Amino acid sequence: MASSTTLFNFKPLHHQRIITKSKPPFSSPRFLSSSINHHSSPTRVCFPLLTSHSIHNRKFHVRAQKEYSAGSNSESVASDETYQEEFSWSSVILPFVFPALGGLLFGYDIGATSGATISLQSPELSGIAWSNLSSVQLGLVVSGSLYGALLGSLLAFAIADFIGRKRQLIGAALLYLLGSAITATAPELGVLLAGRLIYGLGIGLAMHGAPLYIAETCPSQIRGTLVSLKELFIVLGILLGYFVGSFQITTVGGWRFMYGFSAPLAVLMGLGMWTLPASPRWLLLKAVQGKGSFQDLKEKAIVSLSKLRGRPPGDKESEKQIEESIVSLKSAYEDQESEANFLEVFQGPNLKAFIIGGGLVLFQQITGQPSVLYYAGPILQSAGFSAAADAAKVSVVIGLFKLVMTSVAVLKVDDLGRRPLLIGGVSGIALSLVLLSAYYKFLGGLPIVAVAALLLYVGCYQISFGPISWLMVSEIFPLRTRGRGISMAVLTNFAANAVVTFAFSPLKEYLGADNLFLLFAAIALVSLVFIVTSVPETKGLSLEDIESKILK
């Protein structure tokens, strides 16, 4: 695919002056180290805190950088050409927030379920006659949304490219609302499980559609920040679930409120997505593939891009960008069939993208992420923390720490890049797992080691696998197969989550906690080798340039 001007060509903001040469603003750009073109305001604050002038009128003039690496080799491409584009910062907020609510509702389900299962099993507080749940029934309640998410991932594979990112997220909001309402009002266990499954369908669609929509509509220089910020919304959702659960845990029938609380959030998400434009990239793909009137789809893409950038409808700048992108897409897909097939996801550049994205989300789970936190309570209790006596408070403490560390990743991902955070974070994960193994083997008298190892694991996960895996998945797939490729990655993630969750107990019994953590440490080292040798740097690159330069 020939290098070309893209819809959203930007790079992280820094405090330097831009030096530009006189070039047509929509010629094919080369990418350089970039910075913000400062205005006359004396206040200069690094993104995301921007304080000079009215937020609605602030405009940014940015240059894009092209830097990528594959394995241990890295290459930089630079020239003297500079591309500038104006956009309103206020226009970026809503196209991020409403899709990100899909992640928040996913996290909320995790947090709320921890309190809801306690409430459900209490004969005094459940408010139901069928509170005497077996371990299998309780397991189905907890994992019901996970099975739904697996089905939702398969559903996304089939319909995502057909209905588009916007309608997919509206559908996810409707499933969230329906699942929440059914679960909260369930008169019996069967209905409760059906509600959990439907809610999970919404999770599968949202976890596919949210990073896809955000990545395709936001400026390139803050793409890493915004997609990573979606992970922060998941952690916020977990915390919200913990807090709601802690307030309702002593209320009769409190589990109904815990699950029902997500309904108004789902309504907000659905209404918000209704007001947003469709992804311009998706509209152009449909145009190039002949899935509708070319001129109509082109005009819709121009209007969509204008709205996303806070410009007047159909402005000349957006029109020129769309024209350049059409030339690029036609050049890329002129010799290919109009629609990607199932096998194409596993061929050529698409296979390379799937190995990178699928590998990251696979290692994200099989390095023990669902399992290590199971030991949070006992570890903190062994260290003598008074809060550890209360499971809800322990969860909130861990959740707050996850929130802080995820914030670090959000602030640094477009500055440091993806690879440094992954390499540093996964190295810390491996070290923390070795320390946990050592604690259970021969350092039992030093609980501070276990506490430090636990916090190190949580912190390193939240600056690496947590946000960066989903960011890379949203970036790495070519536009032609992006919808189906991401759905396969999401399916891989939830399937691996299910395997690790259900294999944890027998592995713990067979190997012991010390050897189980050692096994996870060995897998973490393998994942580190995979990252160093196979995962490229995508910082500052547009989605089209990732496709044309890294995947070729």
* pLDDT value of residue 49: 32
Output the CA–CA distances (angstroms, integers) from residue 79 to 16, 29, 536, in the order listed: 18, 9, 21
Q: Highest mean pLDDT range out of 26-30, 216-220, 398-402, 457-461?
A: 457-461
- Cα separation, 530 vs 51, whole angstroms: 41
Give 358's contacts (C-beta < 8 A, 6+ positions apart): 488, 489, 492
DSSP class of residue 36?
A: B
- End-to-end C-alpha distance for the chain, whole angstroms: 8
* Contact call for residues 534 and 71 (beta carbons, < 8 A): yes
User: What are the two backbone dihedrals, phi and then psi, of residue 387, each rounded to the nearest 5 degrees?
Assistant: -65, -20
Q: Highest mean pLDDT range out of 84-98, 169-183, 241-255?
A: 169-183
- Cα separation, 282 vs 315, whole angstroms: 20
* pLDDT value of residue 429: 95
- Cα separation, 360 vs 349, whole angstroms: 17
Mean predicted confidence (pLDDT) in 497-501: 78
- Cα separation, 322 vs 36, whole angstroms: 24
pTM: 0.71
Question: Each residue of 395-434: b (16+ CB within 10 Å) or e?
Answer: bbbbbebbeebbbebbbbbbbbbbbebbeebbbbbbbbbb
Does 42 sit behind a cis peptide bond, omega within 30 degrees of 0 on the bond before it? no
Instruction: Pick left, alpha or beta for residue 383 (phi over 0 → left; psi -120 to 50 → alpha; otherwise beta).
Output: alpha
Mean predicted confidence (pLDDT) in 213-231: 81
Angle between helices 465-476 and 189-217 (to 10 degrees): 60
- Cα separation, 484 vs 373, whole angstroms: 32
At 382-398, the pLDDT tens digits run 666 654 345 556 667 77
pLDDT > 90 in the chain, percent: 25
Cα dihedral 333, 338, 339, 340 in deg (nearest 10) = -40
* Contact call for residues 91 and 310 (beta carbons, < 8 A): yes
Q: Average pLDDT of the chain? A: 77
Placement of tokens 């959990």 in the chain: 196
Is residue 453 over pLDDT 50?
yes
Higher pLDDT, 376 or 195: 195
At 514-528, the pLDDT tens digits run 898 999 999 999 999
Is residue 38 over pLDDT 50?
no
At 348-375, the pLDDT tens digits run 788 888 899 999 999 998 998 777 766 6
Candidates 81, 86, 79; CA nearest to 22 is: 81
Confidence of residue 81 (pLDDT cuts 50, 70, 90): very low
- Cα separation, 189 vs 185, whole angstroms: 11
* Contact call for residues 19 and 529 (beta carbons, < 8 A): no
Is residue 199 over pLDDT 90?
yes
Mean predicted confidence (pLDDT) in 330-347: 61
* Contact call for residues 197 and 64 (beta carbons, < 8 A): no
Neighbours of 90 (CB within 10 A): 13
Output the CA–CA distances (angstroms, integers) from residue 333 to 9, 328, 336, 350, 481, in the order listed: 21, 9, 5, 14, 12
* pLDDT value of residue 2: 38
* Contact call for residues 487 and 212 (beta carbons, < 8 A): no
Candidates 79, 71, 68; CA nearest to 29 is: 79
Take residue 426 and report the two structure tokens written for it: 């996964």
Please calculate the CA angle 19-21-24 and round it to the nearest 5 degrees. Answer: 130
Is residue 73 over pLDDT 90?
no
* pLDDT value of residue 341: 58
* pLDDT value of residue 362: 92
Higher pLDDT, 77 or 169: 169
Instruction: Please compute Rg for the chain using Cα positions.
Output: 24
